[in-house]
Structure 1
Amino acid sequence: MSDAASDEPRWEWRIFGADLALLEAQLGYPLDAPHRSDEIYLVNSATPHSAKIRDGALEVKRLLRVDGDGLELWRPAFRAEFPFSADQLARAAAALALPSPPLRAQTYERGDFFSEIVARCRALRPIAVRKSRRRYAFRGCAAEAVRVQIGAVPLCSVAVESADAARLREALRALGADARLNVNFPKGVERAAALAA
């Protein structure tokens, strides 16, 4: 969720629903206007990691651990804009926990990435996602409220994150959301895509 450049691991909690307006209202005033984007999530049935293509760049986050309360610790593992160098393509494959493809060229456009990486892995499924996102600060944590369109399925999502798990738990208690099931974005996208099929 974070737009920060830091590679520091962060604890995250997220929920999906048809209407989360009451939960979003508790976050207070947004930090900015809604940001709209068309993204492609690369859902991997073999790993829990998160990968997406947004604004011409591939971003990969790796799930490091899940604590006893269901909070998830994520770390950015890769980010680069297309076109990739051969080295970047190899590093992208490693971040996705996939074998490195044969490196036949010096540069790789987005289409090359799909043919060399995505098409070769049966576990990877590209899913188009349209988002409208607003960012918040809540109880010392970063938060966001997102409206998502996956095929014909509209969804809402609210997320809160922090490098400090105790601070995140405190924020979730203040929201009255600490007992609700944490569903990360790749899982939410995968479930919505199944409904849209």
Structure 2
Amino acid sequence: MKIIPRYEFRAWGDDLDLAQARLLELGTGLERRQTSEVYIVSRAEETNVKIRAGILDIKRLLDRRNRLERWKPVFKVAFPVESQVLSTSVFPLLDVEAPPPAAGLLSEEEFVAVADRLEGMMAVPVQKARSLVSIGDCRGEAGIVTVDGGRYPTVAVESADPSAVEETIALLGIGGHPNESYPALLRRLRWA
């Protein structure tokens, strides 16, 4: 299966009620999801590492086009994970130096513990309540994200077509917000 990078725009804020309602009104194929995830965050702005449903999932920021970010999935593996994967695939992407872990398989919990102990890296538990829809040529999301007891409303739009994302941003009226990915939000909340 060919992996196609996607342009993404994500807004955060307590003033997104109208944009969320409009997205759900105009979108089709509504899916509601509630998930508990763990983000592995470092100072590397180009990497998005998360664990959801026992899967380690990594995306890389390829470039920026105006206010949009173009992300590409680069790595996905189910736990348990060979410890060698940390030193050869995960830590280099996070721009973190770490001693190679002992050989063998790591469970999700062991991986999170290793990541949380390293200088310049943190594991952040996140709860998401999301409504996902198709809107034009885009995938849209309205949700509430809970981090450290704080609730953060969000609206996101993504597509392989940057023009479609820009049109949907305008349609939803969220263009005045900055584009802030999950890792960027978590860095701001924890390291600001």
Q: Is the 8 A contact 2:144 2:152 kept in 1?
A: yes
Tell me how far apart the structure 2 counterparts of residues 159 and 112 of structure 1 sit (CA, whole Å). 31
Cα distance between partner residues in 2 of 1:193 and 1:163:
31
* Structure 2 residue runs without a partner (length 5+): none
Q: 2:41 touches 2:187 (CA, 8 Å); kept in 1?
A: yes
Q: Deviations over 1:133-183 (max 9, x none)?
A: 110111210111111111221111000001011121122122222343211
| Residue of structure 2 aligned with 1:64, choices 35, 53, 62 | 62
Secondary structure of 2:157's match? strand
Alpha-carbon contact 2:44-2:94 (below 8 Å) kept: no
Aligned pair count?
189
- Report what 2:171 is aligned to: 174
CA apart distance, 1:98: 4.1
Moved more, 92-101 or 104-113: 92-101
What TM-score, normalized by structure 1, do the two folds share?
A: 0.83
1:145 aligns with 2:145: no
Report which of the two has the higher share of strand: 2
Aligned partner letter, 1:105: A
Root mean square deviation of aligned Cα: 2.4
Q: Percent identity?
A: 30
Normalising by the residue count of structure 2, what TM-score does the alignment of the two structures yield?
Answer: 0.85
**Contact 1:160–1:168 at 8 Å: present in 2 too?**
yes
**Shift in Å, 1:24:** 1.1
Shift of 1:104: 3.4
Work out the CA distance in 2 between the residues paired with 1:60 and 1:54: 11
Task: Output one character per residue of 1:79-98: Cα deviation in whole Å (capped at 9) or x when no partner.
Answer: 11110124544333344344
Aligned-partner Cα distance in 2 for 1:117–1:194: 16
Corresponding residue number in structure 2 for 1:41: 39
Structure 1's unaligned 5+ residue stretches are none
TM-superposed deviation, 1:100: 7.2
Contact 1:145 1:158 in 2 (8 A): yes
- Counterpart of 2:120 (choices 108, 120, 123) is 123
* 1:20 paired residue among 16, 32, 41: 16
Aligned counterpart in structure 2 of residue 11 of structure 1, from 7, 12, 16: 7
Q: Distance in 1 between matches of 2:154 and 2:43?
A: 22
Tell me the CA shift for residue 66 of structure 1: 1.2
Q: Which moved more, 1:123-132 or 1:103-112?
A: 103-112
Partner of 1:110: 108
Residue 157 of structure 1 corresponds to 154
Deviation by residue 1:120-141 (Cα, 9 ceiling, x = unmatched)? 3x12111111111110111210
User: 2:111 & 2:83 partners in 1: Cα distance?
Assistant: 11
